Each structure stands twice: as C-alpha cells, then as structure tokens.
C-alpha cells in the first residue's frame, strides 16, 4: 500500500520508497525512511496536499510524493 | 557580541535540515562552514541549534556536522515546548553520544543563554562521538581520494560532491575546475558496491541518530492532543480553514489600505509637504527651486510615502510566519497554485502584491526553487497594487455612471473597480503558464513543507524583518528611484522658453485672467512645451489607435517611474496646477470638459476604460523593476518584465477601445 492511499489517522510503517530522484532523497533526509512510523493526519481543503505526522512533527506532502512511499 | 577578553563574531546561517543542497542558495550553509563564503574565515566553533521537541530529524544535521571536524556546541532549543508535550531530554547522555557539549536553552528567554555563551567561549576540541555514522568504507575511501587530489575540499563537501549527482556542491566543484571525469569514475566504482549511494548514507545517519538517542528521550506512553492539533482542526478545516484564511487576508488588506493611511498622510503632507513648502519659500524661483522642491523633495517623498505600507506588510508576514500560520496558508493553497506551475509557497507573495509588489518580490526569498521564485517575481507586478487605486478612483469617478443593481447592493463603479483588479489576475494566469512551458520550463516545484507547532511570535524577530525591509527600501528610494525621478523632472521642466511666458502674459492681459488662472495656464504651457511634452507629441502616432491624444500620452510617459504621479500630471496638464488629488471634483470636471481639436470630448467611457486597463497592466514602477533586477541578479528579468507588461497593456487598451 502507498502512503497516498492510507486511511486518515491510521499509523503505519514505511517499508520502502523510490530513491531515484532528488525529491525522494530529500524526503528521506526528513526522516521518511524504512521503519519510520508515519500517519496521514488530514488532507488540505482541496484534497491535496496531505498533512502527515512523522514522530513529533508534521509535514505537508503532495499525494504524488506520498504515492512513491510504500507503507504497511 | 563582546563578553570575555576577545570579541566574538557570530554568523547566523539560514536554517536547514541537511548540508545537501539542490540550489546555490542552499549551498550557503556548507560553503560558510567550509570557509568558502566571501569575507569569512572557517569558523572556530559551530553552534548547532536543535529543536528539543523534534530531536531525530535535528540530529540528522548534527551527524553531518561531525564530518566537518570542527569544534561543535549543540544548543538544545525549545526545551519548554518539549516539556509541555511531556518529552524529557537527558542532555548529558546525549552529549556523551555526540562527543560535544549539549546545552539546554530557551532561545526567547535570555536567562537560559549564559551557559551557552560560556560553552562557546571555553577552549574547543573536535567532537569525539562514541560512534560515527556507519557510512560505507568504500564511500569514505573515495572521499579521501577526492580530498587528496583537491586539498581545498573539506570532508563534508567531498561527500556531497560525490553522493549528490546534479547537486549544488557538485556544480560548484566543477565550476572551480574539478574534473568531471574523475567524479564519474569514482561514482562508477561506488556503484559496483552495495550501500554506497545517498540513500544508504541517509539510512546510516538515521541509524546513528537512533543509537545516539538511546536512553536520551523519555516521552509519555500515550500521545497527547496538543494545542497545535486543536488549532489545526479549525484552521485547516475545509470550511473553517478557508473562512479563517479569508479573515486573515481581509485584516491584512484592511491594514495595508486603511491603517497605513494616517501615517501616509503624515509623511506626505506634514513632513514632505511642509519641507517642500518651506524650501519653495526659502529658495529663489527658478530651476534650482524646482529641482529641490519638485525633483528631490517630491521625488523622495513619493517613495517614502509607501514606507508605512511596507512596514505593515512585512510585520504581518513576519507575524504570520513566526506564529506558524503561514505554513498552513501555503498548505491550503498549494493545490490551487499548482495549476500555474507554482506551489503553496508562492501564494503569500502574490497576495501581498495587491498592496505593493516591492515587498512582495523581496518576500519571494522564502521560495527555494529558482524557477518557481522567478515566475512568482514575474507575476507579482500584474496584481493591482495600491498605487493604481488613485487612477481607478479618478477615472471611475469621472466617467462611470452610478447605476445600481440588485436593489442597490452592487453599483457599477464598484464592479468596474473589481474588474480592474481581476484584469491583472486574468492576464497573470496564461503568462505563468507560458513562462513555465518556455523560459522556465522544468519539473513541478517540490512542495514539502514543515508544519511547525503554533507559537507566540517573537517581537524581536518580527522587528528585525520589518527594519531590514524598511532600510533596504529607503536606501533604494534615496538612490536609483530618486535618480529616475530627477530625469523625468528635468524632462518635464526644461526648456522653459521665455517666449512662452511672454505669450501667456499677453493672453492673460487680453482675456483678463486672474492671477491664479494665469499661473495655471503658464504651468500648463511650460509642460506642453517641455521635452516631456514634445515626447508626448512624438508618441502620438503610437497612441492614436487607442483614441488617446498627446496629453494622455504625456501623462502616461510621466508615470513610468511611478504610476501614482499620473493624477498630479493630469492636473498639471489640464491647467489646474499640481495640487490635485483623485477626489478633487475640479480635475474630474476638467477631464469631462477636455476637448479634442475638432471639439469632440477627449474622454469617452471606452477611452477612460482603456487608460485604466493600461494602468492595470503596465510596468509603471521603477522601484519594482529595480527590485526585480536586484532579486534576480540580472538585467534580463526587469527588461523582460517591462517589455511584456507594457506590450500587454497596450494591446489590452487597444482591445478595450475596439470592443466598447
């Protein structure tokens, strides 16, 4: 399952991600790496981007980026 | 700061999550730490200010700082926020893991900073961590090899050059004469081994962070619902959030349009008006008097009058940013901005352009993506700024009928005013699209944004932003803008032929004008026969298709340095003296009564509309163009902006005359 399709409020673990672009590398630097616990808190009023919670902090992430992150 | 025996120079680097840099702007941190910043030595000690309430991600940067082999002090900031969430941090255990002093502080509370100062001043050693991040030995070998061949590279730099293909560190390395071939070979060797890429480096660093935090953080077993979460439920709610955003924007506009007003009047009338009057009385009549009063004083005053708006706008932006709301506004607007090839970050600068494009363009520095930032800068002047309002007010007041619709709720003048604001937006949308497909073609800008906890804004940080922006603005007002104004003044003043004066005096005697009338007529005649007036005649063929005559052309030409001067210019041109404002019914009547040579009225509704549309789109603001040049560090962008906007303004004005 990808992070983009995770139900709101459900805590999941990152199992893998594409590492081929500078953008994905940047997300990894922010702590979205294998094993990290992550949760989609809400969607923006227009449906995109997503507000995700990673440990103690919140990030705004576009669905297209979230779709490149595998979770379980 | 000077405390102990020797003074200490503190350099504040931009906040960052990582030393890896995509854009040259982000490379500043790594460059400064490696002693490459112009005018700065390599630092004696690095102070890392980390957020205690969010340690794992902050220690990621600390793990990179260890590679610098520079003395390090870690300041554990926001201990109060951490504590309020029930998070306890054991600084001593953390200090052992990092191998460097760790000092808890609350940055907004000066009493907590003494220990940090003492630590910075005490003798320094390079950190001795219990364990270093487990970066592959193959990677370390290649780093060592690269540094052996290029001794000026520091370790942290060599790592970035090697592991971030296409990154800013690599580009800077190649620009300094580093070999593309040796880099390719080194990367090819690394590609043969496993776990030698940037992703592996990141995993190794986070593994180190996890080890370093072992036994350091104690947190409550159940997650608390924080105040930030409660606020977010309202402020990013599909209905409540949008309503809150509208309220914030409403207050912002109100502040810029209305609250600034008394201060602007004060500057305009009480300060510059009086200084001008005083000097006019003190100096003998002639070119020197006019140069000082109409050129210098009016020129500087015309710019300084925007200072209150700039201060209010910057204070509001700094407040919203510092308390954490700006990130939410960007979060909510990102989807809408994406259609323009922009992201949520561009929303606030574009919005504040409705007040004034100058601070808005300066405010685009928060946009990291170069393409996105340049598109935003290019679009900002299309938004109808407050300086266009006097033009709209004058012409709508004079030529638009007060017809009411919906039982008086909506009136035609208001609708026309709204339409003028929408013209800029409507034109900006296709412009953004075209630029993003051509000169600034590239991938959609990334939009990953931290949504920080809400906190009370710090007065000092807000004031710093406001005073910085004001200083920069006043500096420009005193230099470039003044110079441009003086050129226009000279064009409008000279040559002042004595024959003109004699002719007007004769006409005054013949038609028995009173003194005021004679003076006004003389001013008008001087202006008509000035170089600017001649230019107005010269461009007549170009503006004839618009139905404008040389007088409108001259007013438009005179307002290229600053569009708001058009009201005063029209007043002078139509013989009313320059003491006019947009509400003076005298000027309105004069515009209505103005005739062409064949006796038809000069202004009709279509022509008034075409002038307004021209002002809505034209780049008549030297300050904006100067700021565009400074922020893009090029001549190309301001020139492109000027040509595009002026051409569009002309075509739109032509279309209006043809359609109506």
Does a structural domain hold residue B1?
Answer: no
- pLDDT at position B578: 45
The secondary structure element, H or E, covering residue B51 is strand B46-51
**Torsion B534-B535-B538-B540 (CA) sign:** negative
According to the model, what pLDDT value does residue B582 have?
Answer: 57
Q: What is the pLDDT of residue A42?
A: 93
Confidence at residue A15, expressed as pLDDT on a 0 to 100 scale: 94
- In this complex, do A30 and B17 lie within 8 Å of one another by their Cβ atoms? yes
For residue B567, what pLDDT band results from cuts at 50, 70 and 90?
confident
Which residue in chain A has the smallest CA separation from B53? Answer: A56
**B387 shares a domain with B344:** yes
Whether B2 is in a domain gets the answer: no
Shortest distance, CA A33 to any CA of chain B (angstroms): 7
Dump pLDDT digits (tens) for B97-151: 999 999 998 877 778 888 898 888 888 889 989 888 888 889 999 999 999 999 9
Residues B483 and B549 in one domain: yes
- Kindly state whether B307 is in contact with chain A, defined as any CB-CB distance less than 8 angstroms: no
pLDDT of residue B226: 78
Summarize the confidence of residues B550-572 as an average pLDDT.
78
Domain of B166 in residue numbering reads as: 24-218
> Do residue B245 and residue B186 come from a single domain?
no
Answer yes or no: is B343 within a domain: yes
Q: Residue B652 domain-assigned?
A: yes
pTM for the complete prediction?
A: 0.78
Together in a domain, B92 and B235: no
Query: Rounded mean pLDDT of B627-641?
Result: 92
Domain boundary among B218, B251, B277: B218
Residue B131: give its domain's CATH number.
3.40.50
pLDDT in tens, B13-69: 888 889 988 776 678 899 999 998 888 889 999 999 998 888 989 999 999 999 999
| Closest-CA distance of chain A to residue B343, Å | 10
- Side-chain-side CA neighbours of residue B533 (13 Å): 17
Compute the Cα dihedral for B538, B540, B543, B549 and give only its sign: positive
Asked if residue B519 belongs to a domain, the reply is: no
d(CA B446, CA B316): 26
For the segment B374-382, the average pLDDT, to the nearest whole number, is: 95
- CB-based contact, B446 to chain A, within 8 Å: yes
Q: Is there a single domain that holds both residue B344 and residue B380?
A: yes
Whether residue B167 is found in the same domain as residue B316: no
- Whether residues B114 and B246 share a domain: the answer is no
Please tell me the distance from the alpha carbon of residue B352 to that of residue B346, in angstroms, as a whole number. Answer: 10
More confident residue, B143 or B398: B143
B451 contact residues in A (CB cutoff 8 A) = 51, 57-60
Residues B559, B652 within the same domain: yes
Give the H or E element holding residue B459: helix B459-476
Mean pLDDT of B329-349: 88
| Top-confidence range, B63-77, B79-93, B185-199, B262-276 | B63-77
Question: Does residue B378 register a pLDDT over 90?
Answer: yes
Mean pLDDT estimate for chain B:
85
Q: Kindly state whether residue B503 falls inside one of the protein's structural domains.
A: no
Q: Which residues of B299-316 are buried (b: 16+ CB within 10 A; e: fewer)?
A: bbbbbbbbbbbbbbbbbb
| Residues B448, A59: C-beta atoms closer than 8 Å | yes
Could you give the number of structural domains in chain B?
2
**Closest by Cβ to A30, choosing from B198, B199, B448:** B448
More confident site: B160 or B442: B160
Query: What does the block give as tokens for B254?
Result: 């109100």
The DSSP string of B474-517 is HHHIIIIIHHHHHHHHHHHH----HHHHHHHHHHHHHHT--HHH
| pLDDT at position B255 | 74
Residue B322 pLDDT class (50, 70, 90 cuts): confident
Tell me, what's the pLDDT at B253? 65
Is B541 in the A-facing interface, judged by CB distances under 8 Å?
A: no
Last residue of a domain, one of B218, B241, B272: B218
Q: Listing from the earlier edge strand, what are the strands of the sheet with B102-104?
A: B46-51, B72-77, B102-104
Residues B229 and B210 in one domain: no
Residues of B within 8 A of A59 (CB-CB) are 448-451
Cβ-Cβ contacts under 8 Å, A45 against chain B: 236-238, 241-242, 332
Inter-chain residue contact B451 with A60, CB threshold 8 Å? yes
Confirm or reject contact between B45 and chain A (CB < 8 A): no
B272 with B411, same domain?
Answer: yes
Which residues in chain A touch residue B203, judged by CB atoms under 8 angstroms apart?
Answer: 28, 33-34
pLDDT > 90 fraction of chain B, expressed in percent and rounded = 26
ipTM comes to 0.94
B168 and B299 co-located in one domain: no
Residue B2's pLDDT is 46
Select the residue from B197, B241, B335 to test the A interface by mutation, using most A Cβ atoms within 10 A.
B335
In the DSSP assignment, the letter for residue B660 is -
Task: Please state, in angstroms and as integers, the Cα–Cα distance from residue B567 to each residue in B27, B556, B563, following that order.
Answer: 47, 10, 9
State mean pLDDT over B291-299. Answer: 78
Assess if residue B507 is contained within a domain: no
Interface residues from chain A to B (CB-CB < 8 Å)? 19, 22-23, 25-31, 33-34, 41-42, 44-49, 51, 54-62, 65
Tokens in use for B421? 């604001």
What is the pLDDT, as a whole number, of residue A25? 87
Which of A3, A21, A56 is most worth mutating to test chain B (most B CB atoms within 10 A of its CB)? A56
Q: Which one of B159, B167, B199, B200 would you mutate to disrupt binding with A, by most A Cβ within 10 Å of its Cβ?
A: B199
Tokens 């560190």 -> residue: B169
> Tell me, what's the pLDDT at B627?
87
Q: Which domains does chain A have, with CATH numbers?
A: 3-71 (2.30.30.90)
Domain boundary among B218, B234, B267: B218
Question: In the numeric block, which tokens belong to residue A27?
Answer: 């997300």
The pLDDT tens digits for B508-537 are 888 888 887 787 778 778 877 888 888 888
CA-wise closest residue to B83 among B112, B61, B62 = B112
Task: Determine the pLDDT at residue B256.
Answer: 66
CA B545 to chain centre: 37
Domain assignment of residue B16, yes or no: no
Whether B596 and B660 share a structural domain: yes
CA distance A12 to chain B (A): 15
């Amino acid at each position: 399952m990808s992070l983009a399709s995770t139900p709101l409020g459900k805590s999941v673990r990152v199992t893998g991600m594409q590492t081929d672009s500078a953008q994905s590398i940047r997300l990894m630097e922010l702590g979205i790496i294998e094993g990290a616990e992550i949760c989609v808190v809400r969607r923006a009023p227009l449906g995109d981007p997503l507000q995700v919670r990673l440990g103690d902090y919140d990030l705004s992430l576009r669905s297209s980026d979230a779709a490149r992150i595998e979770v379980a | 700061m000077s405390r102990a025996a020797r003074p200490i120079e503190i350099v504040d680097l931009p906040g960052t999550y990582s030393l890896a840099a995509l854009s040259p702007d982000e490379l500043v941190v790594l460059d400064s730490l490696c002693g490459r910043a112009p005018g700065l030595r390599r630092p004696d000690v690095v102070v890392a200010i980390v957020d205690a309430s969010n340690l794992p991600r902050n220690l990621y940067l600390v793990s990179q700082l260890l590679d610098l082999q520079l003395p390090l002090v870690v300041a554990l900031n926001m201990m109060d926020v951490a504590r309020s969430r029930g998070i306890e941090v054991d600084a001593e255990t953390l200090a052992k893991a990092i191998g460097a002093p760790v000092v808890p502080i609350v940055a907004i509370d000066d009493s907590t900073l003494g220990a940090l100062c003492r630590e910075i001043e005490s003798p320094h050693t390079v950190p001795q961590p219990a364990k270093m991040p487990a970066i592959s030995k193959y990677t370390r070998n290649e780093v060592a090899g690269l540094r052996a061949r290029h001794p000026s590279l520091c370790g942290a730099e060599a790592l970035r050059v090697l592991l971030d293909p296409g990154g800013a560190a690599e580009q800077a390395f190649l620009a300094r004469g580093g070999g593309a071939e040796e880099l390719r070979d080194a990367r090819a060797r690394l590609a043969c081994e496993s776990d030698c890429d940037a992703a592996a480096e990141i995993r190794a660093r986070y593994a180190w962070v996890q080890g370093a935090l072992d036994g350091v953080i104690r947190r409550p077993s159940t997650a608390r619902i924080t105040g930030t979460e409660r606020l977010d439920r309202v402020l990013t709610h599909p209905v409540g959030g949008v309503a809150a955003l509208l309220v914030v924007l409403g207050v912002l506009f109100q502040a810029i349009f209305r609250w600034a007003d008394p201060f602007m009047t004060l500057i305009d009338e009480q300060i510059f008006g009086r200084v001008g009057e005083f000097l006019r009385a003190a100096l003998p009549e002639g070119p020197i008097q006019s140069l000082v009063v109409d050129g210098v004083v009016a020129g500087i005053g015309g710019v300084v009058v925007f200072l209150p708006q700039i201060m209010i706008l910057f204070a509001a932006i700094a407040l919203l940013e510092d308390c954490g709301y700006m990130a939410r506004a960007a979060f909510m607007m990102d989807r809408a901005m994406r259609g323009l090839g922009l992201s949520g970050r561009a929303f606030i600068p574009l919005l504040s352009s409705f007040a004034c494009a100058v601070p808005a363009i300066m405010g685009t520095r928060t946009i990291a993506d170069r393409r996105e930032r340049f598109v935003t800068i290019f679009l900002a002047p299309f938004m109808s700024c407050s300086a266009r309002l006097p033009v709209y007010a004058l012409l709508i007041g004079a030529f638009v009928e007060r017809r009411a619709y919906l039982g008086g709720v909506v009136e035609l003048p208001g609708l026309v005013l709204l339409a003028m604001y929408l013209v800029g937006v409507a034109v900006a949308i296709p412009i953004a699209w075209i630029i993003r497909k051509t000169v600034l073609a590239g991938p959609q800008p990334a939009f990953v944004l931290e949504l920080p906890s809400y906190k009370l804004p710090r007065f000092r940080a807000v004031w710093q932003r406001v005073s910085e922006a004001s200083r920069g603005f006043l500096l420009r007002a005193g230099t470039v803008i003044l110079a441009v104004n003086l050129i226009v003044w000279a064009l409008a003043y000279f040559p002042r032929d004595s024959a003109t004066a004699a002719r007007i005096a004769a006409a005054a005697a013949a038609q028995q004008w009173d003194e005021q009338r004679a003076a006004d007529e003389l001013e008008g005649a001087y202006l008509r026969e000035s170089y600017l007036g001649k230019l107005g005649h010269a461009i007549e063929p170009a503006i004839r298709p618009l139905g404008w005559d040389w007088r409108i052309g001259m007013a438009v030409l005179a307002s290229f340095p600053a569009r708001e001067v058009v009201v005063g210019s029209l007043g002078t041109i139509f013989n009313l003296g320059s003491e006019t404002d947009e509400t003076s019914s005298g000027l309105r009547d004069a515009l209505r009564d103005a005739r062409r040579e064949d006796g038809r009225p000069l202004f009709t509704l279509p022509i008034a509309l075409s002038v307004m549309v021209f002002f809505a789109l034209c780049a008549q603001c030297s300050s904006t163009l100067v700021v565009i040049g400074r922020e893009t560090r090029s001549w190309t962008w301001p020139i492109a902006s000027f040509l595009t906007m002026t051409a569009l303004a002309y075509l739109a004005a032509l279309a209006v005359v043809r359609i109506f």
